[in-house]
């Protein structure tokens, strides 16, 4: 007789390091499965990938038994590992925090292929490169021209901003001088009108 699926839970757990303590215990405890059994099976299945975050999809049945399916590590996690960083840029492509090679991108794309919405390796590489860019990770050879263009644009924008500021200052000075001059002119006009009335 087929078992009924009660629920499916997706978790991101460090390979080989699952324990019944939080967050694993907090999420799986209410599901009523044997936490120690899950942790032992997960750790055995991921021991060779120590250091990676391995997402796992756990299917829980009505008799409290379970199955699980390992997914590929998150793209961001693989990129940070390849780049040797622990934190991505908080300004995205505008702040490059690390550089990786095209080979790194290819290797990550090959790893992620089963879980990516891509038909071929080239498409997968584009997805990985896009994620890298958003994280502030440059790709040697692939984004060099793009980065140079960005730097040029940033420099131009900076120069434009400085010019605008200088223009504004000049306009303010000019407006100030005009305001002072205009009040004198108004007085003169008022006087001449008065003189005309007296005549």
196: pLDDT strictly greater than 60: no
> For 97-103, what is the mean pLDDT?
91
Give the span between the Cα atoms of 97 and 136, in whole angstroms. 6
What is the CB neighbour count within 10 angstroms for residue 83? 19
Q: How far apart are CA 113 and CA 117, in angstroms?
A: 8
pLDDT band per the 50, 70, 90 thresholds, residue 8: very high
Q: Choose among 86, 22, 81: nearest CA to 49.
A: 81
Q: What percent of the chain has pLDDT over 70?
A: 76
Q: How far is Cα of residue 131 from the mean position of the Cα atoms in its chain?
A: 7
Average pLDDT of the residues in 92-112: 88
Any idea which architecture 80-139 has in CATH? Orthogonal Bundle (1.10)
Rounded Cα distance, 136 and 80, in Å: 10
> pLDDT at position 65, please?
92
Encoded tokens for 15: 């390979």
pLDDT greater than 60 at residue 191: no
Q: Which sequence spans correspond to the domains of the chain?
A: 5-70, 80-139, 143-187
Q: How far apart are CA 105 and CA 179, in angstroms?
A: 62
Q: What is the pTM of this model?
A: 0.60
Q: Check if the beta carbon of residue 52 is closer than 8 Å to that of residue 108.
A: no
Average pLDDT estimate for 137-160: 64
**By the 8 A CB rule, do 39 and 17 touch?**
no
> Which tens digit of pLDDT belongs to each residue from 9-62?
999 999 999 999 988 999 998 988 999 999 999 999 999 988 788 999 999 999
Q: What pLDDT does 61 receive? A: 93
Please state, rounded to an integer, the average pLDDT across all residues of the chain.
Answer: 81
Strand partners, 102: none
Q: 108-112, 142-146, 179-183: which has the highest mean pLDDT?
A: 108-112
**CATH fold of 5-70, please?**
Ribosomal protein L11, N-terminal domain (3.30.1550)
């Amino acid at each position: 007789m087929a078992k009924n699926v009660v629920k499916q839970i997706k978790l991101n757990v460090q390979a080989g390091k699952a324990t019944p303590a939080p967050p694993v215990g907090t999420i799986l405890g209410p599901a009523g499965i044997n936490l120690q059994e899950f942790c032992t099976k997960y750790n055995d299945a991921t021991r060779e990938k120590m250091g990676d975050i391995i997402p796992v999809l756990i299917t829980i049945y009505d008799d409290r038994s379970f199955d699980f399916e390992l997914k590929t590590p998150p793209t961001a996690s693989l990129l940070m590992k390849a780049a040797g960083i622990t934190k991505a840029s908080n300004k995205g492509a505008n702040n490059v925090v690390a550089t990786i090679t095209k080979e790194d991108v290819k290797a990550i794309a090959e790893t992620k292929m089963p879980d990516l919405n891509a038909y071929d390796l080239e498409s997968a590489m584009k997805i990985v490169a896009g994620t890298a860019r958003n994280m502030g990770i440059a790709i040697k050879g692939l984004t060099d021209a793009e980065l140079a263009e960005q730097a040029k644009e940033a420099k131009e924008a900076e120069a434009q901003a400085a010019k605008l500021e200088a223009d504004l200052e000049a306009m303010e000075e000019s407006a100030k001088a005009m305001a002072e001059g205009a009040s004198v002119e108004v007085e003169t006009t008022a006087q001449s009108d008065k003189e005309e009335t007296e005549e």
